[in-house]
Amino acid sequence: MNKVLVIYSSKTGFTRKYAKWICEALDADILEYNDRERVNYAHYDTIIFGGGIYAGKINNIKWFREKLSDFKDKKCVLFVSGAMPKKSPDVMKNIKKNFKPGEWGKFKVFYMQGGLDYDHMEEMDRIMLTGFRYALKISKKDERMANMIAKSFDFATQKDIVPLVEYCLK
Ligand SMILES: Cc1cc2nc3c(=O)[nH]c(=O)nc-3n(C[C@H](O)[C@H](O)[C@H](O)COP(=O)(O)O)c2cc1C
């Protein structure tokens, strides 16, 4: 039997929401990143790690990168949630920048659009995002994006887990 573990790191809840949907679909165990020492990874055949992306950096990705050698006999999967639309050509480019060339290819990657939640954001994140929005506005480079990130939104949808779930069931 393929035993699956989903471990996630989520600041405002979007990655958590996806992690829960994935867990239900795969009948997997679920673990919050802060509990990562509390589990015996030897019990699992598939490890799925999920994190939100912040200024191009995936939350707690260092842990996943360092674990890749321990998990070399397992199916490794990464899912990333971000505000960018799925179709944006920068999405995979930005995710790839989180890895060294030798690491990329040792796991399968899926991107799922999350959203923004100003009510649950850390103060520093809110300040950073506001700065980014004003920079976009002033430069007039991407007014659509500037308007999109001006307020909270939630584009997370359960159907976005389907490619990951199908891959894990293969
Ligand atoms: C300060 C800040 C920086 C962000 N940077 C990015 C980014 O570079 N790319 C992106 O797609 N989304 C970005 N986002 C949006 C988050 O990735 C998005 O809210 C994600 O779904 C959060 O997941 P979480 O709530 O599970 O942490 C950023 C959000 C904040 C607050």
Give 109-154 pLDDT, tens digit per residue.
Answer: 999 999 999 999 999 999 999 999 999 989 987 888 899 999 999 9
Contact 6, 50 (CB under 8 A): yes
CATH number of the structural domain 4-117+155-169: 3.40.50.360
**How far apart are the C-alpha atoms of 74 and 71, rounded to whole Å?**
5
Provide the pLDDT confidence category of residue 22 given band limits of 50, 70 and 90: very high
pLDDT tens digits for range 78-121: 999 999 999 998 999 999 999 999 999 999 999 999 999 999 99
**Predicted local distance difference test score (pLDDT) of residue 140:** 83
Provide the pLDDT confidence category of residue 170 given band limits of 50, 70 and 90: very high
**Predicted local distance difference test score (pLDDT) of residue 144:** 87
Nearest CA to ligand 1 atom 4: 54
How many alpha carbons lie under 13 Å from residue 37 in its C-beta half-sphere?
Answer: 1
Mean pLDDT of 49-69: 98
Mean pLDDT of 49-68: 98
pLDDT tens digits for range 29-46: 999 999 999 999 999 999
Tokens of 47: 């490890």
Minimum-distance ligand 1 atom for the alpha carbon of 56: 8
**How far apart are the C-alpha atoms of 112 and 115, rounded to whole Å?**
10
Contact 5, 11 (CB under 8 A): no
Identify the residues whose C-beta falls under 6 Å from ligand 1: 10-16, 52-56, 59, 81-84, 114-116, 121, 125, 128-129
Contact 86, 139 (CB under 8 A): no
Chain-wide mean pLDDT for the chain? Answer: 96
Q: How far is the CA of 140 from the centre of ligand 1 (A)?
A: 21
Q: How far is the CA of 78 from the centre of ligand 1 (A)?
A: 16
Mean pLDDT of 21-27: 98
How many alpha carbons lie under 13 Å from residue 57 in its C-beta half-sphere?
Answer: 7
